[in-house]
Amino acid sequence: MPVSTFSIVNSTYFKGGVYYSLSYYGASSVFLDDANTVSARPYHLLMAKLGVNVSVKS
């Protein structure tokens, strides 16, 4: 498990069904073995999504 993590998310919806969503996740280094001799580097993830919600009448 990472010693520290950080996460932030923002979603915004506009008239007409347009929306966007942004999220960020960061984690400190994490040990990969039981002896704590091998560790992975810290990492960061960024996700962005843009879309339009539409209604379909049948």
Q: Which domain holds residue 29?
A: 5-52
pLDDT of residue 18: 96
Domain count, the chain: 1
Cα separation, 23 vs 2, in Å, equals: 19
48: pLDDT strictly greater than 90: yes
Residue 41 in contact with residue 55, Cβ under 8 Å? no
What is the structure's pLDDT at 1?
79
Segment 8-32, tens digit of pLDDT: 999 999 999 999 999 999 999 998 8
- Please give the Cα distance from 17 to 1 (Å, whole number): 39
Domain assignment present for 23: yes
Residue type, 48: A
**58 domain-assigned:** no
**Within-domain flag for 13:** yes
Task: With respect to residue 29, please indicate whether it lies within any of the assigned structural domains.
Answer: yes
**Model-level pTM?**
0.71
Is residue 57 domain-resident? no
